[in-house]
A = this chain, B = another copy of it.
Amino acid sequence: MDKSKQYKIFSDPIHGFISVPKGIILKLIDHPYVQRLRRIRQLGLGYLVFPAAEHSRFSHAIGALELGQRVLKNLQEKDTTISDPEINGTLIAILLHDIGHGPLSHTLEHSLIKDFNHEMMSLKIMEKLNQEFDGALTTAIEIFTDQYPKKFLHQLISSQLDIDRLDYLKRDSFFTGVSEGSVGINRILKTMRVINGNVVIEKKGIYAIENYILSRRLMYMQVYLHKTVLSADSLLKKIFKRVSYLIKNGEQINIPSEPLRYFLEKRPSAKKVITYEMMGHYLSLDDHDVMICLKSWINSKDPILADLTLRFLNRSLFRTTFINKKGLKNLKSDILAQTKKQLKKAGLPDDDHSAGFYIDFDKSYSEAYKYENESIWILDDDQKAIEFSKAADTKHIIALTQPVVKPYVVHLKELNLDVY
């Protein structure tokens, strides 16, 4: 048989031609649960700042799959034994690692289900698929949940230096045009090894790791925690908070998306268990459900909901101001007062509770490199694994293990905060 027919080829601007073998992996790609990822933007609202960052979780999943194929092949060439079922299991886990993401990726993660994170849902969905495919995902699930004896396979899909991060950093840097976040993927993949059952990096790859750590930091600072991204995220969360509030108060809200209506009206919790009902509705949800509701809510009778959604759709966003601790109390009351004044001017309700939908105090958090629990290991000349910050020839890596925390407030642009 013609082997060229045994592959499907995807064309990717970043990794080039990606060959995916026919079989379970291609079947999973074609499955509605994975196809759903085409309708979820990888960077959530990031496209409001970076116009071309409109890529979906689907293209990231395919990209990560390709990097997985490359690294597994490299490891085999370096005499690490990996069986065909292990390869399949790892690739499936990579492909599905983010399948539990909801609309707009992280933004609404906590607005739909209580006590929830997307990894829980990823696992639930993988178990469902495992039933559907008669147990073909068992190894993948063991690797995903770190139950599988060969720990390095789990490390490849979830660690400080995993395939997921390599693809998303490269991809997000590429589409945003933020060149500072570009990672030398191939050098890292080429220098990965397995020693004593753990993923390590050969010494000659140490500078590629240093660059990777800094690139990750710079992507957080310039993209993921960009002021305007924070402000757009905040606005969307406020909108959903307002809708919840209105529903709780018995108001009639038009929710043209059925699955979204389910979550907004029921507000289910994932504390005890993710039910099949919950999962079913979740799998019907994507970015379109959110957008269609927003488009509908600009006509809401509630003036605050109408105002917030109109702002969102027309990209008339709030402003983000980073703040110092001192004088915080004055700041809070001042902002409240100024906001109420603006709302009054605009003919909107200007009581304290209403004004709360126009003010958001929060803090951004990023950590370039965590070295305590899950380190990156460098193989030194004596073939001994050394924790990366200790192997480095300068002390700046240690400095990068300190989290960077920045309190900020999101507020109406008309406010004057110059004195703070």
Binding site for B on A (CB under 8 A): 1-4, 9-14, 16-17, 30-32, 35, 38-39, 47-48, 50-52, 54-56, 58-59, 62, 77-79, 174-180, 182, 184, 186-187, 190, 193, 202, 207-208, 210-211, 214-215, 217-218, 221-222, 256-258, 284, 286-289, 291-292, 295-296, 313-316, 368, 393-400, 402, 404, 406
A176 nearest in chain B by CB position: B11
CA distance A221 to B204 in the complex (A): 10
Asked if B16 contacts A314 (CB within 8 A), the reply is no
Known: A295-B288, A398-B399. A13 touches B175 (CB 8 A): yes
A296 nearest in chain B by CB position: B258
CA distance A10 to B208 in the complex (A): 16
CB contacts (< 8 Å) of A2 on chain B: these are 78-79
A398 nearest in chain B by CB position: B399
CB contacts (< 8 Å) of A177 on chain B: these are 11-13, 16-17
What's the minimum C-beta distance from A219 to chain B, rounded to whole angstroms?
A: 9
Asked if B393 contacts A399 (CB within 8 A), the reply is no
Asked if A77 contacts B193 (CB within 8 A), the reply is no
CB contacts (< 8 Å) of A4 on chain B: these are 77-78, 193, 202
Known: A174-B13, A291-B39, A397-B396. A59 touches B55 (CB 8 A): no
CA distance A257 to B288 in the complex (A): 11
What's the minimum C-beta distance from A270 to chain B, rounded to whole angstroms?
A: 23
Asked if B9 contacts A190 (CB within 8 A), the reply is yes
CA distance A210 to B214 in the complex (A): 9
CB contacts (< 8 Å) of A14 on chain B: these are 52
Q: Other CB < 8 Å A-B pairs besides A2-B79, A14-B52, 14 of them?
A: A13-B174, A32-B313, A32-B314, A38-B48, A179-B187, A207-B222, A211-B214, A211-B218, A256-B257, A288-B295, A394-B399, A394-B404, A395-B402, A396-B400
CB contacts (< 8 Å) of A211 on chain B: these are 180, 214-215, 218
What's the minimum C-beta distance from A266 to chain B, rounded to whole angstroms?
A: 19
A173 nearest in chain B by CB position: B13
What's the minimum C-beta distance from A256 to chain B, rounded to whole angstroms?
A: 4
What's the minimum C-beta distance from A344 to chain B, rounded to whole angstroms?
A: 25
CB contacts (< 8 Å) of A48 on chain B: these are 38
Say which residue of B38, B54, B179 sits within 8 Å of A55 (CB atoms): B54
What's the minimum C-beta distance from A376 to chain B, rounded to whole angstroms?
A: 16
CA distance A187 to B397 in the complex (A): 25
What's the minimum C-beta distance from A58 to chain B, rounded to whole angstroms?
A: 6
CA distance A393 to B395 in the complex (A): 16
Known: A55-B52, A211-B218. A394 touches B398 (CB 8 A): no
CB contacts (< 8 Å) of A208 on chain B: these are 180
What's the minimum C-beta distance from A67 to chain B, rounded to whole angstroms?
A: 14
CB contacts (< 8 Å) of A59 on chain B: these are 51-52, 54
Known: A3-B77, A395-B402, A399-B396. A58 touches B51 (CB 8 A): yes
Known: A54-B55, A178-B11. A395 touches B404 (CB 8 A): no
CB contacts (< 8 Å) of A256 on chain B: these are 256-257, 292
Say which residue of B186, B210, B288, B400 sits within 8 Å of A17 (CB atoms): B186
A220 nearest in chain B by CB position: B207
CB contacts (< 8 Å) of A78 on chain B: these are 2-4
Listed by A's residue number, 28 A-B pairs whose Cβ atoms lie within 8 Å are A1-B79, A2-B78, A11-B176, A12-B51, A13-B176, A16-B177, A30-B315, A31-B314, A32-B314, A35-B313, A38-B47, A47-B56, A52-B55, A54-B54, A178-B184, A179-B184, A180-B184, A180-B210, A214-B214, A256-B292, A288-B288, A292-B292, A393-B404, A394-B404, A395-B399, A395-B402, A396-B399, A396-B400
